[in-house]
Structure 1
Amino acid sequence: MKANDLRLKTADELNDRLTILKKEQFNLRFQKATGQLENTARQGAVRREIAKILTVLKEKAAASA
């Protein structure tokens, strides 16, 4: 998801998406540890999307302060 798309969402929607991505990240790490991970590129994509969401959340917090 693009950062501009994330900026249009509310903080609650971003937090919900962040929770989902953190669960997915945990599951991907677990799959890697057990040797069941097929798409290793997904780990990096999830990590980058988490970073984008956290950046937008910090921008929103700074703008409201």
Structure 2
Amino acid sequence: MDIKDIRAKSISDLHKLLVEKRASLRELVFKASEGQLKSMHSISEIKKSIAKILTVLNHAAKSGGK
């Protein structure tokens, strides 16, 4: 997910997206521990997306929100 797309979303949408990304990360980690995950790269992509979302949320909180 591109940072421009994340910045265009509202705060409530970002919180929902964050919950979804964390849930999918949890599922991927479980699959990786069971040996069912083919590509480990998807875990790092989701982690980066979560970091981008948190960065935008923290910036919005410090600047007073959207």
Aligned residues: 65
Counterpart check, 1:61 vs 2:56: no
Q: Matches of 2:43 and 2:32 in 1, distance apart?
A: 10
Counterpart check, 1:4 vs 2:4: yes
The alignment's TM-score, normalised by the length of structure 1, stands at: 0.94
5+ residue gaps, structure 2, are: none
Identity of aligned residues (%): 31
- Give the alignment's Cα RMSD to 1 decimal: 1.1
Counterpart check, 1:27 vs 2:27: yes
The alignment's TM-score, normalised by the length of structure 2, stands at: 0.93
After TM superposition, give the deviation of residue 4 of structure 1 in Å.
1.6
Stretches (4+) displaced over 4 A: none
Q: Matches of 1:64 and 1:28 in 2, distance apart?
A: 34
The C-alpha deviation readout for 1:6-43, integer Å capped at 9, x for no partner, is 11111100010100000000001100111100121000
Counterpart amino acid of 1:59? H
